[in-house]
């Protein structure tokens, strides 16, 4: 069952379309990723679905509701964490949760959320004194306090250190486990690869691909590389004739085999058959970065300014 | 507890934790205490002046800074994704600041009367009317600052920059008689000048000048509407 349906969404700022005929649907219970460089239209798309912005054309249904017309009803059923949003400097953690809980018809017990999100010992702490990771956990807890069916999380781990990001990822998996559909906006490839069931890749206001992260990666039509150090001499011709192998090159005592598809298995079995033991075997697999490059012809990082 | 009343409760706690609340209370009290010993018994000019300083600081300094900061921090925007609208927070803030200004004024009246033998307010109804109309006019200016300032810091700066000339013109820094005639006349029609005069009239028992009340009402309405019109939520 689709909980979010977006059809031909267009949103312009001035005359410039920032979201241009975007269509996708999000299924019940999945973590749906919206990936793309800054300025690709990700946040604008999500803000239209949250009812914060009015689309110029196209339609959006979230849980069967129109986000603009049925905004109040929808707000009871969705939880939102906004990019670059803060709380009042002097508000205490428990006060924020207690306050937001009071907005909803059927809120969760915020005391449980405090425990669950590791904020119990920060209960009396003021917002301004929290660390980046603690603030993010509080924002997630606030997004969940209304017991939503859908949670929108925008650039959740930006500004967090690697350890805090890992912890946050585990927590997001827990949200899905509880049956909440999650829409995750991110410009971090690794995050999307780790968490999302499906991902829509945005570029310049359009969706350039929509699939599972692994399908997007395996669809990359470019050579992969296998590197190893042979412990016995062998003839390159043993490998060059194998299916999928494109080239074999030597660099010092290393051998680099370029190829496509399942060539790595063919290479390792050929070497084993000829009794060539190898050391330091590495397969360089494609990542979503490669997928993005293949889809747009541009690298991801150069888009960030 | 419903969203609105909980919002009011939490926001009033936050107001009391805000150092600028202490500042807005302490400054007029300080002026009253320092100059109070030099006044003759029954005097209501200095108490009226201190009350004007209190309401001026709340309206021109606390109101715009708080609201612009809430917008800058994305708090208003975050609220618009919940069943409670950001307008509720705006209303709660204006009501709380009004209550705070009222409490500060009550403290100043009490200190004036009890410690410095100021006369009791002669006409209470007129004084409450003057207070409500004048505070609305001053808050409207504060709201206009909040509507136009890009950030909380900017709102704070504009508020302070505006407070001093208005306080000067309103006769809060020196007696009106010591000012050039033109400035004194202009000053009578500024929000703080109107408030001080209207409160003084009611407190001392002088005849109510309906013109002053009418101008304050017009300020409140016109400036308030303009502010509401151009106020941005994000």
Query: Which residues, in sequence order, are CB contacts of A265 under 8 Å at separation 6+?
Result: none
Examine the domain organization and report whether A162 and A269 are in the same domain: no
Q: Does B87 touch chain A (CB under 8 A)?
A: no
Q: Which residues of B touch A102 (CB under 8 A)?
A: 1-3, 6-7
Distance from CA of B83 to the nearest CA of A (A): 5
Examine the domain organization and report whether A231 and A196 are in the same domain: no
Distance CA A129, CA A65 (A): 38
Q: Does A88 touch chain B (CB under 8 A)?
A: yes
List the domain boundaries for chain B: 3-230
Examine the domain organization and report whether A149 and A15 are in the same domain: yes
Distance from CA of B5 to the nearest CA of A (A): 9
Domain-terminating residue out of A170, A193, A218: A218
User: What six digits make up the tokens of A223?
Assistant: 């050579």
Count of CB atoms situated within 10 Å of the CB of B188: 18
Does A304 fall in a domain?
Answer: no
Domain enclosing residue A250, as ranges: 224-285
Examine the domain organization and report whether A203 and A252 are in the same domain: no
| Residue A33, beta-bridge partner list | A184, A199
User: What six digits make up the tokens of A145?
Assistant: 């306090």
- Does this model's pTM top 0.90? My answer is no
Task: Look at residue A301 in the predicted model and tell me its pLDDT.
Answer: 59
> Which phi-psi region, left, alpha or beta, contains residue B101 (left: φ > 0; alpha: ψ -120 to 50)?
alpha
Examine the domain organization and report whether A130 and A273 are in the same domain: no
Residues of chain A with confidence (pLDDT) below 50: 302-305
Across the interface, which of B2, B10, B78 has its CB nearest the CB of A82? B78
Does A291 fall in a domain?
Answer: no
* SS3 state at A139: helix
State the best of B68, B80, B83 to mutate against chain A, taking most chain A CBs within 10 Å.
B83
Nearest to A195, CA basis, from A205, A186, A203: A186
Examine the domain organization and report whether A159 and A86 are in the same domain: yes
Task: Look at residue B1 in the predicted model and tell me its pLDDT.
Answer: 57
Q: Which residues of B touch A98 (CB under 8 A)?
A: 6, 10
Examine the domain organization and report whether A178 and A245 are in the same domain: no
Query: Which residues, in sequence order, are CB contacts of A131 under 8 Å at separation 6+?
Result: none
User: What six digits make up the tokens of B134?
Assistant: 């004048």
Size of chain A, expressed as the number of residues it contains: 305
What is the ipTM, given to two decimal places? 0.90
Interface of A with B in 3-62 (CB under 8 A): 50-52
Distance CA A51, CA A24 (A): 17
Q: Which residues of B touch A99 (CB under 8 A)?
A: 6-7, 10
Q: Which residues of A touch B156 (CB under 8 A)?
A: none
Does A149 fall in a domain?
Answer: yes
H or E segment to which residue A199 belongs: strand A198-203
Domain count, chain A: 2
Examine the domain organization and report whether A276 and A181 are in the same domain: no
Assign residue A75 the CATH number of its domain.
Answer: 3.40.50.300
Exposed e or buried b for every residue in A58-95, given b needs 16+ CB within 10 A? bebbbbebebeebbeebbbbbbbbbeebbbbebbbbbb
Examine the domain organization and report whether A269 and A178 are in the same domain: no
Domain-terminating residue out of A218, A249, A273: A218
Q: Does A75 touch chain B (CB under 8 A)?
A: yes
Does A39 fall in a domain?
Answer: yes
Does A244 fall in a domain?
Answer: yes
Q: Does B232 touch chain A (CB under 8 A)?
A: no
Closest chain B residue to A151, measured at CA: B81
Residues of chain B with confidence (pLDDT) below 50: none
Domain-terminating residue out of A162, A188, A218: A218
Assign residue A264 the CATH number of its domain.
Answer: 3.30.70.100
Edge to edge, the sheet with strand A224-230 lists A245-251, A254-259, A224-230, A278-284
Does A292 fall in a domain?
Answer: no
Across the interface, which of B3, B18, B75 has its CB nearest the CB of A86? B75
Nearest to B118, CA basis, from B192, B207, B194, B199: B199
Does A132 fall in a domain?
Answer: yes
The three-state (H, E, C) secondary structure of chain B, written as one string: CCHHHHHHHHHHHHHHHCHHHHHHHHHHHHHHHHHHCCCCCECCHHHHHHHHHHHHHHHHHHHHHHHHHHHHCCHHHHHCCCCCCHHHHHHHHHHHHHHHHHHHHHHHHHHHHHHHCECCCCCHHHHHHHHHHHHHHHHHHHHHHHHHCCCHHHHHHHHHHHHHHHHHHCCCCCCHHHCCHHHHHHHHCCHHHHHHHHHHHHHHCCCCCHHHHHHHHHHHHHHHHHHHHHCCCC
CB contact under 8 A, A82 and B74: yes
Does A302 fall in a domain?
Answer: no
Task: Look at residue A211 in the predicted model and tell me its pLDDT.
Answer: 93
Nearest to A88, CA basis, from A49, A135, A39: A135
Q: Which residues of B touch A72 (CB under 8 A)?
A: 83
Q: Which residues of A touch B78 (CB under 8 A)?
A: 80, 82, 85, 87
Closest chain A residue to B233, measured at CA: A52
Exposed e or buried b for every residue in A197-215, given b needs 16+ CB within 10 A? ebbbbbbbbebebbeebee
Across the interface, which of B70, B73, B80 has its CB nearest the CB of A52? B80
CB contact under 8 A, A84 and B1: no
CB pairs A-B closer than 8 Å: 60
Examine the domain organization and report whether A188 and A244 are in the same domain: no
Examine the domain organization and report whether A76 and A208 are in the same domain: yes
CB contact under 8 A, B73 and A85: yes
Q: Which residues of A touch B86 (CB under 8 A)?
A: none
> Which phi-psi region, left, alpha or beta, contains residue A280 (left: φ > 0; alpha: ψ -120 to 50)?
left
Examine the domain organization and report whether A192 and A254 are in the same domain: no
Q: Does B19 touch chain A (CB under 8 A)?
A: no
């Amino acid at each position: 069952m689709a909980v979010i349906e977006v059809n031909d969404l267009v949103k312009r700022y001035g005359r410039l379309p920032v979201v241009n005929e975007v269509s996708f649907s999000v299924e019940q219970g999945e973590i749906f990723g919206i990936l793309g460089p800054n300025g690709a239209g990700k946040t604008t798309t999500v803000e239209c679905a949250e009812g914060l912005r009015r689309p110029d054309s196209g339609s959006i249904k979230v849980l069967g509701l129109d986000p603009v017309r049925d905004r109040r009803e929808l707000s009871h059923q969705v939880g939102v964490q906004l990019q670059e949003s803060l709380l009042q400097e002097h508000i205490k953690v428990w006060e924020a949760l207690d306050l937001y809980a009071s907005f909803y018809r059927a809120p969760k017990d915020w005391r449980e959320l405090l425990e669950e999100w590791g904020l119990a010992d920060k209960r009396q702490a003021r917002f301004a004194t929290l660390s980046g990771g603690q603030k993010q956990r509080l924002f997630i807890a606030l997004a969940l306090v209304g017991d939503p069916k859908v949670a929108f999380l925008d650039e959740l781990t930006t500004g967090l250190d690697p350890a805090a990001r890992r912890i946050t990822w585990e927590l997001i998996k827990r949200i899905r486990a509880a049956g909440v559909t999650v829409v995750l906006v991110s410009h971090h490839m690794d995050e999307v690869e780790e968490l999302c069931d499906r991902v829509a890749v945005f570029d310049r206001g359009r969706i350039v691909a929509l699939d599972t992260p692994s399908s997007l990666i395996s669809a990359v039509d470019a050579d992969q590389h296998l590197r190893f150090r042979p412990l016995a001499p062998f003839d390159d011709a043993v490998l060059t004739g194998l299916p999928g192998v494109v080239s074999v090159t030597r660099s010092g005592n290393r051998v680099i085999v370029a190829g496509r598809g399942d060539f790595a298995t063919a290479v390792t079995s050929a070497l084993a058959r000829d009794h060539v033991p190898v050391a330091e075997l590495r397969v360089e697999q494609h990542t979503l970065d490669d997928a993005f490059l293949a889809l747009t012809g541009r690298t991801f990082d150069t888009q960030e300014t | 507890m419903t969203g609105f009343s909980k919002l009011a409760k939490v926001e009033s706690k936050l107001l009391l934790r805000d150092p600028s609340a202490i500042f807005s209370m302490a400054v007029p009290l300080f002026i009253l205490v320092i100059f109070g010993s030099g006044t003759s018994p029954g005097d209501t000019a200095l108490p009226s002046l201190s009350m004007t300083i209190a309401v001026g600081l709340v309206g021109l300094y606390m109101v715009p800074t708080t609201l612009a900061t809430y917008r800058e921090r994305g708090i208003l925007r975050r609220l618009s994704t919940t069943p409670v609208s950001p307008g509720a927070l705006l209303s709660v803030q204006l009501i709380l600041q009004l209550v705070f200004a009222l409490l500060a004024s009550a403290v100043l009246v009490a200190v004036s009367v009890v410690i410095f033998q100021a006369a009791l307010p002669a006409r209470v109804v007129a004084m409450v009317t003057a207070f409500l109309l004048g505070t609305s006019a001053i808050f409207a200016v504060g709201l206009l600052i909040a509507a136009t300032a890009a950030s909380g810091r900017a709102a704070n700066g504009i508020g302070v920059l505006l407070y001093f000339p208005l306080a000067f013109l309103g006769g809060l820094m020196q007696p009106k008689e010591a000012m050039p005639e033109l400035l004194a006349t202009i000053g009578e029609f500024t929000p703080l000048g109107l408030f001080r005069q209207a409160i003084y009239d009611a407190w001392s028992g002088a005849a109510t000048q309906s013109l002053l009340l009418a101008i304050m009402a017009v300020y409140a309405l016109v400036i308030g509407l303009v502010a509401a019109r151009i106020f941005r939520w994000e």
